[in-house]
Structure 1
Amino acid sequence: MDNSLPLESPSLSRRQLLNFITGAAVAATAGAALYPAGKFFIPPAETGAGGAILAKDVLGNLIPASQILAEPPGTRALVAGLAGEPTYLIVKEDGTLDSIGIVDNCTHLGCTFPWNPMDQQFQCPCHGSRYAPDGTVVRGPAPLPLKIVQVVAIDNSILISPWTENDPRTGEKPWWL
């Protein structure tokens, strides 16, 4: 009689172990390389109630409300708004911020354009579209008024949130919803 214990083959061979370690190293390296690329291509989530964000400058620095309110009445200050879209904030005659901000993207082909204080219009230099101070189309080829956002100044912060109510210029549901 043979009372020896049978030898079992190991559950993981040397080759399988090395393949596993190599695969794990490749996966970790690829993940470490792809994570920053993914963060670059996916826009940051908008935070705050109703998707509100804080107004920032082109470099991503917060803009205090006092900085914009120090400008003379009628000034249109350009800030980075929702999803980084350039947005004009308007200083009213009483020295407060208007509750409506105007997004600086032409509804014709998406160009950005300056405010022309001499003509009191937004003028797209690419194809000649002109907009009234409230963002309605004065002259085409732009088919729609400019997108608007809601602006609220709380303490020394400026909150910008999506416009979800009826468009006050047309009385209808906004085209961008």
Structure 2
Amino acid sequence: MDDTFPLEESSLSRRQLLNFLTGATVAVTIGSALYPVNQFFVPPKEDIGVEGGIIATDILGNPIPASQILTEPPGTRALVAGLAGEPTYLVVKDDQTLDPIGLVDNCTHLGCTFPWNPVDQQFQCPCHGSLYAPDGMVIRGPAPLPLKIVHVTVMDNGSILISPWTEADPRTGKEPWWV
């Protein structure tokens, strides 16, 4: 009687095993290298709230409470990060409330950002000299269009909701150019 067991041929050869391990190693290496590249080129999703609005934040992404802006004197223009991270001016009115219309800080000529000049009571683009009235209408070009506006709402919890303006522009009575 034969006490040896018959050797069964393996279904996976040594060459196939090494090819599989090499391929898996290459796939993991390439996948781990492409992940940060993908994260760089794909923008993060915004936390979109009511009617496509977002909460106003500072430059670091921290929410700004309305109480912080309302401590400023009337006529102050506070710059916050608004829709799609665009810098947006919020205006403190005489009755210590926020104006329901915010102005996006992008020149309609070439997209420059610009400061509010409290002495001249106008927005002044330093790049090419465009001037805007306090409501965002063009005083002097080369800017061809008024500033984009957004809705500003103070929520019950004190945060500031900024949402897109899609109805007629109250300054011109026409369809907004940015819609």
TM-score by length of 1: 0.88
Deviation, 1:53, is: 1.2
* SS of 1:142 mapped into structure 2: coil
Please, which runs of 5 or more residues in structure 1 have no aligned partner?
Answer: none
The yes-or-no answer on 1:108 pairing with 2:105 is no
Aligned to 2:3: none
Aligned to 1:175: 177
Aligned to 2:33: 33
Percent of residue pairs bearing the same amino acid type: 76
TM-score by length of 2: 0.87
Deviation, 1:94, is: 1.0
| Equivalent residues in 2 for 1:6-85, closer than 5 Å | 10=11, 12-46=12-46, 47-85=48-86
Deviation, 1:82, is: 1.1
Aligned to 2:122: 121
In structure 2, how many angstroms separate the alpha carbons of the residues matched to 1:51 and 1:22?
48
Residues 43 and 83 in structure 1, CA contact (< 8 A), matched pair in contact too:
no
Runs (4 or more) in structure 1 with deviation over 3 Å come to none
* SS of 2:99 mapped into structure 1: coil
* Paired AA for residue 67 in structure 2: S
In structure 1, how many angstroms separate the alpha carbons of the residues matched to 2:17 and 2:60?
49
Deviation, 1:9, is: 7.3
* SS of 1:149 mapped into structure 2: strand
Aligned to 1:166: 168
In structure 2, how many angstroms separate the alpha carbons of the residues matched to 1:165 and 1:13?
70
* Paired AA for residue 121 in structure 2: Q
Range 36-45 or range 56-65, more displaced = 36-45
Please, which runs of 5 or more residues in structure 2 have no aligned partner?
Answer: 1-5
Alpha carbons of 1:150 and 1:39: their partners in 2 closer, same or farther (altered >3 Å)? farther
In structure 2, how many angstroms separate the alpha carbons of the residues matched to 1:103 and 1:15?
63
Deviation, 1:8, is: 7.0
Deviation, 1:104, is: 0.5
Alpha carbons of 1:99 and 1:31: their partners in 2 closer, same or farther (altered >3 Å)? farther
Between the two proteins, the alignment pairs up a number of residues equal to 172
Aligned to 2:144: 143
